[in-house]
Amino acid sequence: MERVDISILGRDYSLACPPEEKQALTAAAQHISQLAGRIQGSGKVSGNERIAVMAAIQVAIELLSVKVPDGPLGGLAVGDFKRRIDNLNAILDTVGPSVS
């Protein structure tokens, strides 16, 4: 495991990750730091905890908006795919327990 030191909203954090994930972790932390800084700079949200929640929501929106590349699900957003899976699970739940 490697140690990665990051700073978000003036607070320092030390994280551990496998060497092959260090670059991704650093990029993710920088992204969060930038989002948190923008949210803090807007002056509309105060308190680091609230800023962190708002940044997390923004990242979730970004993730759920990502489109699936080529293939049978091409052009489908991850959030749409998740909703379809949830709908299928709900239908399966109404059918009842499976018979083996």
Residue pLDDT, tens place only, 19-72:
999 999 999 999 999 999 999 999 998 899 999 999 999 998 888 787 777 777
pLDDT higher for 100 or 79? 79
pLDDT higher for 92 or 9? 9
| Count of CA atoms in the C-beta half-sphere (13 A) of 41 | 6
Q: Where are the alpha helices (DSSP H) in 2-71?
A: 22-42, 48-65
* DSSP state, residue 46: -
Indicate the SS3 state at residue 84: helix
Residue 80: predicted pLDDT:
78
Whole-number Cα distances in Å, 16 to 21, 25, 78:
10, 9, 28
Q: Which two tokens stand for residue 56?
A: 């997390």
Q: Where are the domains of the chain?
A: 2-95
Q: Which two tokens stand for residue 86?
A: 């949830």
Per-residue pLDDT band for 17 (boundaries 50, 70, 90) equals very high
